Structure 1
Amino acid sequence: MSYLTKPTKSEVTWLIECQFIEHQITTGAWITIQKQLVGFELVPEHAAENLGTLQLHRREKKDYRNNLKAKEPKLYAILNPTPQRDIRMLTASPRTARQFMDQEYLVLSNRMPDEVRAWITSYINKR
């Protein structure tokens, strides 16, 4: 197992691997395959696929606080429309995720890992 040699986390960025599965969606007579976000690997391997950078922004602090207060805080993976395997960004801001939903991007979410919650809380409290 070879891990990344460059740092995967700083005060404002964290390189995270998104874990996906594909599942069928049936709409009327149509069956399509869509990705589902099932989790996150916080210490990705060097050759890992599906890497995205979670970057914290000062202007989104209120969004982060509201997300952390939710019963189940979420991380959002925004995938490019074509191909859907390319991650455009990760965010902890529900508002930012909604903005991408209004466009052609696929926005998937899953429970925020406890380590990420603690990291974001530290960021909010520092500034």
Structure 2
Amino acid sequence: MSHSTKRIKSETMWPIECQFIEHQITSGAWVTQQTQLVGFKLIPDDLSANLGVLQLQRSERKDYRNNLKADPPKLYAILYTTPQREICTLTASPRAAQRFMDQKFLVLSNQMPEEVRLWIESYVHKR
């Protein structure tokens, strides 16, 4: 699969760029850097860094339904805890995101964009 082929949206896969900021947290005498997920770019550029692929799974349909009922529904970016903090995966399943929390991953979330919500609703309601 070529590099650009991975950037094409389908019925079950959507390449989405995650937008992060690093900010400092001060607690007493300690200062640490923290990564924050601030948004999503739904049409990534060819050279997008922080590209994740949201891949919908039939086995997670119930999770998606529950997430869509939340106010607001969320997308979860699962990052490796390497210094580069590369994206491991994107998911709309809160349960899948929680499974990653038990391991050595950084799990960040932000409000699901409306276009993604509609796309997932369409997927959930197909037979």
TM over 0.5: yes
Query: What pairs up with 1:19-58 in 2 under 5 angstroms?
Result: 19-58=19-58
Please give the alpha-carbon distance, in whole angstroms, between the structure 1 residues aligned to 2:125 and 2:10.
16
Please give the alpha-carbon distance, in whole angstroms, between the structure 2 residues aligned to 1:107 and 1:8.
25
- Structure 1, residues 2-33: CA drift from partner, whole Å, max 9, x if none? xx853521011000000000011223432110
Please give the alpha-carbon distance, in whole angstroms, between the structure 1 residues aligned to 2:54 and 2:75.
9
The farther-off stretch of 8-17 and 76-85 is 76-85
Secondary structure of the structure 2 residue equivalent to 1:31: strand
Which runs of no fewer than 5 residues in structure 1 stay unpaired?
none
Please give the alpha-carbon distance, in whole angstroms, between the structure 2 residues aligned to 1:8 and 1:41.
14
Give yes or no for the alignment of 1:81 onto 2:81: yes
Shift of 1:103: 1.1
Shift of 1:83: 2.8
Secondary structure of the structure 2 residue equivalent to 1:10: coil
2:100 equivalent in structure 1: 100
CA RMSD across the alignment: 1.4
Q: Which amino acid aligns with 1:58?
A: R
- How many residues get paired? 124
| TM-score with structure 1 setting the length | 0.92
Instruction: Assess if the C-alpha contact under 8 Å between 1:8 and 1:43 holds in 2.
Output: no
Please give the alpha-carbon distance, in whole angstroms, between the structure 2 residues aligned to 1:124 and 1:22.
34
- Structure 1, residues 35-67: CA drift from partner, whole Å, max 9, x if none? 100000000000010000000001100000000
Q: Which amino acid aligns with 1:89?
A: T
Instruction: State the percentage of identical aligned residues.
Output: 67
2:13 equivalent in structure 1: 13
